[in-house]
Structure 1
Amino acid sequence: MFSGSIPALVTPFRNGEFDEKAYRALIDWQIEQGSAALVPCGTTGEAATMPKEEHFRVVRVCVEQAAGRVKVLAGAGSNDTRVAIENIKAAQEAGADAALMVPPYYNRPSQEGIFRHFEAVTQACDLPVILYNVPGRTVTDIAVETMGRIAEACPTVAGVKDASGVVQRVSAQRAACGANFCQLSGNDDMALAFMAMGGVGCVSVTANVAPKLCAEFQAACAAGEYAKALEYQDRLFPLHGALFADASPGPVKYALGRVRPGFPTELRLPMTPASDAARAIVDAALEHAGLI
């Protein structure tokens, strides 16, 4: 269902409100530049600052603007199983092709609790699910064995966005979940190794800013042209790090303002603009990548 370069889209705000016009223009640009699918309302999209009505309005706008040209993977997770069920149903009603869902965060459930959470969600709605394993944010790690159990028991779970930072898990998860289980890197800087080990794409922060380069990098990996992919890696690697030189998505919104003048770079508290030091790092990385 998903492969290639998949931007975790920022959400543009202007005067505190969702800027629909800027978002639609961003989506068109992403598709024109070769992005293979879109993720609205993920971490980079500041979903944690959105009330439910606004969250799924943004998803609907993304689906409308994509207009079937690429698939839409909507952020829909929650640490409350009942709310997660409401969210996945709302994502389906909004027209998303699949839901991206973290395990329950903050609560710190056991592996049994994680399994039962996804079992309940998938029994309540038949929309395909991509797991989002990001223990650095959720403090909840979906163990390889648990992921295999979920993949076997929950047929609508189609894959994982893996942001564990442990690249050898790609092979372990292939063994546990099967070679057809869709594994997407959640870390731009590790995507080259991730792809070589059996990944099929990347849910990318950097693709917000450099969609064409990220799409070409993914195409090289998919073709097994790893020498070419390494050239893209060397060109993009400083940018991968620079976009986290301050709390995300401050740096990526600043970078978008540099490559797309006029793009609204406003953030919602508690997120704040990138510092002067971070902006200098971003500028250097954009220059290195040939984007400015």
Structure 2
Amino acid sequence: MTTAPAPLRGIISYPVTPFAADTGDVDLAALRRLVGELADAGSHAIAPLGSAGESAYLTESEWDAVCETTLQTVAGRLPTLVGVSHWSTAETVRRARVAARHGATALMVLPQTYWKLTEAELEQHFATVAAATDLPVMLYNNPGTSGVDLRPDTVVALARKIPNLTMVKESSGDVARFRALRDRSDGTLSVYNGNNPVALEAFRSGAVGWCTAAPCLVPRWCTELYAAATRGDDARADAVLAQLLPLLKFIVGHGLPRAVKAGLEIQGRAAGRPRPPLLPLPDEETRQLRELLERLGGAEALEVGAAGAV
């Protein structure tokens, strides 16, 4: 089996979208800071406007501003993966073209639906969006948020019909799917993990990247997990994951926009409140999050861990 080169690999970091505390408007200055921090902290790619970025709650002009600001801030230093999903095919196409115009490396498309789509409708949607630019496309399977579960056979069938659909972000949590996607596509699909708690299992099952908002809070722990996994240092990878897993489970379980923004506030890097109907993380959960972050201890604890005392 010949594996196609992956357009992206490693830690693909998803910034939240900051909102101003007083007006609730998108805070582009805070976004520039956060994106710059993610780039400087060792991320291998930056992925704005995913679920953590509250893209579903942005107006069209806000979406455009976040896309442009993020890509300008990255300025070609790293690859970029822009989430272009929308309820309608027409708006998804428009977003894809905006992202391409501003220099995106690749596009991510979630089947964001209200009505349950048929296989023919899904195929038409993905094919139309993919044809709007010449950028590689990542199909995003997240049944927990979209209500649509794109199983490996369906994904592979779509990829065979859509030439630039070359990647899939698998977020169901079913680790067996990583290998199934690679095997059934004869290695032509690059597979990425989008389910934080199974990050290490995913790498060991052939995922080439981890799509995650966790680097907003603990970037060096994430890059260290990837480094240990890719060099085959099982003991180190297991030790890092053991420390990181409670935080990963917490931020997923409490909703990424709520939890990550609360964590940024704890760290003195405020990104505002999530946008209604989302509410801020409650006080008791914020206390728990503070304890988790303190337990990890930031960069110092990671350096100690590298010496064998994680």
Shorter chain as normaliser: what TM range?
over 0.9
What does residue range 189-208 of structure 1 map to in structure 2 within 5 Å? 189-208=197-216
Work out the CA distance in 2 between the residues paired with 1:100 and 1:134.
12
Q: Secondary structure at the match of 1:148?
A: helix
Q: Secondary structure at the match of 1:108?
A: coil
1:282 matched to 2:275: no
1:8 matched to 2:14: yes
The offset of 1:140, in angstroms, is 0.8
CA contact (8 A) 1:104 1:114 kept: no
Work out the CA distance in 1 between the residues paired with 2:114 and 2:163.
27
Deviations 1:168-217 (A, max 9, x none): 11111112223242211101110100110000111112111111110111
Percent identical across equivalent pairs? 30
Q: Secondary structure at the match of 1:244?
A: helix
1:268 matched to 2:260: no
Work out the CA distance in 1 between the residues paired with 2:33 and 2:161.
40
Q: C-alpha root-mean-square deviation of aligned residues, in Å?
A: 1.5
The offset of 1:226, in angstroms, is 2.2
**Match for residue 250 of structure 2?**
242
Work out the CA distance in 1 between the residues paired with 2:80 and 2:156.
25
What does residue range 105-254 of structure 1 map to in structure 2 within 5 Å? 105-254=113-262
Query: Which 5+ residue runs of structure 2 have no aligned equivalent?
Result: 1-6, 300-310
TM-score, normalising length: structure 2: 0.89
Residue type at the aligned position of 2:11: S
Work out the CA distance in 2 between the residues paired with 1:95 and 1:117.
23
CA contact (8 A) 1:56 1:94 kept: no
Which segment drifts farther, 167-176 or 240-249? 240-249
Deviations 1:33-89 (A, max 9, x none): 101111111110111111112102111111111111111111101232222222211
CA contact (8 A) 1:8 1:42 kept: yes
TM-score, normalising length: structure 1: 0.95
CA contact (8 A) 2:13 2:215 kept: yes
Work out the CA distance in 2 between the residues paired with 1:225 and 1:179.
24
Work out the CA distance in 2 between the residues paired with 1:202 and 1:123.
26
1:54 matched to 2:62: yes
The offset of 1:277, in angstroms, is 2.1
Work out the CA distance in 2 between the residues paired with 1:221 and 1:161.
19
Residue type at the aligned position of 1:282: L
* Structure 1 stretches of 4+ moved >6 Å: none
Which segment drifts farther, 144-153 or 32-41? 144-153
Query: Which 5+ residue runs of structure 1 have no aligned equivalent?
Result: none
What does residue range 62-73 of structure 1 map to in structure 2 within 5 Å? 62-73=70-81
Residue type at the aligned position of 1:258: I
Residue type at the aligned position of 1:2: L
Which segment drifts farther, 184-193 or 217-226? 217-226
The offset of 1:287, in angstroms, is 2.0
The offset of 1:245, in angstroms, is 4.5
CA contact (8 A) 2:17 2:271 kept: no
The offset of 1:264, in angstroms, is 2.7
